[in-house]
Amino acid sequence: MRAGVGFSDNPDTGTAGIEAGRAALAEAGGKGPCDLALLFSTARHDAAILREAVLSVIGNSALVVGGGAVGAMTNRRYGYGGDQVGLAVFRFEGAGCDIVSEGGLDSGEEETGRRLGSSLRRNDFGNESRSLLFYDAIRPAGGGRRVNFGTPLLRGIEAGLGFLPRLSGAALMGDYVHSPYPQWTGRGLAGQRAIILSFTGGLRLDSVVMHGCYPGTDYFTVTKAEGQAIFEINGRPAVKFVQDILGPPVPVESWPLFLLFGVGGGGRRGSIEEDDIANHMCLSVESESGAIVMLGSDMAVGDRFQIMYRSLDLNYITTRVDGAFTSLGGRKPAFAFYIDCAGRAARYAELDAEDAVFVQKAVAGRAPLLGIYSGGEISPIRGRTTAFDWTGVFCLLSVPA
């Protein structure tokens, strides 16, 4: 299998697609059209024009899968919040990729997941480490809440398939203000879909999570909750409880998209258990009800969690990426894919360093790298595929040596 990546931040959509396509095609090498393209773009570009521009370079027979991303990165370039386009192309050369998708997320994530799982079951889908999941993060205007949730989608997949497979993936959104953006589904364009790509022919997909934070408190317990809203913690009003812990330096108005609760962990304050923590992010605080509203509906009564503090030392990224390459054993890395929560971008999170740069340096030319800034992340942790927030998921697609 051959892979190549391309990047553009040209504001002209057609030019951006051609620039990214030419760069990816040159790196993939070989002759003839490509088999598959993973394409991601900010909401500033016209999705139909971009797709056609890319296909004009890589061959009209290629399947195009992807959608909105707040930004993108490759081995040498990155950017977010502008006109970024990120592209990976594949020539399978005896390998392959099966694509299964279902729509209707805005009518119910769990039911969409159930249909998706049933389709996978009919395709005799296994539990090998080989699959990516992408789903539309943003609901259209007038649909009540503005986002689709990963946890009920995974619950539906498990119900329809009969088990929850190993999946890594992302919730796709094209900007920070939740503008709707179409998805590329293989042969066309659609929205409100969940798509699973399953690589075949000896290809394997491994992933590691990189939370970039550590537990800063002891464990607390959710004692009253409904849907996204947490009303009580340890039997006390949730907002007041967290206020007493964080104190005046962290005012309530700063909590949305920055307050993190970590479920799981090793049970020790200050320890970093990357493979055992699922981060969940505060979306808003309701003054009237006194609820902490989470980005997803993942936390329920009885869940034990710690408040997570962001790490300012990004050297852990090098360790995690090196570990992912080492874990391949005798296999050969063919493509690296980094899913980075859009909230971790340095300008947005008010950090001094970009984790994209650390990932680029850690990959160090060992594989073509494509990264996207996402609205939510998915990866197996604690032996189970899980949806979470404010996390990086580093994936490696490998072939037999």
How confident is the model at residue 156, as a pLDDT? Answer: 98
Residue at which a domain ends, from 284, 310, 336: 310
Are 393 and 371 in the same domain? yes
Q: Looking at the structure, tell me whether residues 261 and 337 fall in a common domain.
A: no
Q: What confidence score (pLDDT) does residue 287 get? A: 85
pLDDT one-digit tens code per residue, 187-234: 999 999 999 999 999 999 999 999 878 888 999 999 999 989 999 999
Same domain, yes or no: 306 and 348: no
Q: 21 and 152: one domain?
A: yes
Do 282 and 348 lie in one domain? The reply is no
Last residue of a domain, one of 280, 310, 340: 310
pLDDT at 270: 52
Instruction: Looking at the structure, tell me whether residues 28 and 157 fall in a common domain.
Output: yes
Same domain for 89 and 197: yes
Residue 273's pLDDT is 60
Residues 35 and 132 in one domain: yes
Position 267 scores a pLDDT of: 53
Is there a single domain that holds both residue 163 and residue 69?
yes
What is the domain extent for residue 392? Answer: 2-210+314-399
**pLDDT beneath 70: ranges in the chain:** 142-145, 265-274
Same domain, 391 and 292: no
The total domain count for the chain is 2
Rounded to two decimals, what is the model's pTM?
A: 0.94
Same domain for 336 and 393, yes or no, is: yes
Q: Three-state secondary structure along the chain?
A: CEEEEEEECCCCHHHHHHHHHHHHHHHHCCCCCCCEEEEEECCCCCHHHHHHHHHHHHCCCCEEEEEECCEEEECCCEEECCCCEEEEEEECCCCEEEEEEECCHHHCHHHHHHHHHHHHHHCCCCCCCCEEEEEECECCCCCCCCECCHHHHHHHHHHHHCCCCCEEEEEECCCCCCCCCCEEEECCEECCCEEEEEEECCCEEEEEEECCEEECCCCEEEEEEECCEEEEECCEEHHHHHHHHHCCCCCHHHCCCCCEEEEECCCCCCCCCHHHEEEEEEEEEECCCCEEEECCCCCCCCCEEEEEEECCCCCHHHHHHHHHHHCCCCCEEEEEEEEEEHHHCHHHHCCCCCHHHHHHHHHCCCCCEEEEEECEEEEEECCEEEEECCCEEEEEEEECC
- Give the domain-ending residue among 283, 310, 337: 310
For residues 362 and 251, state if they share a domain: no
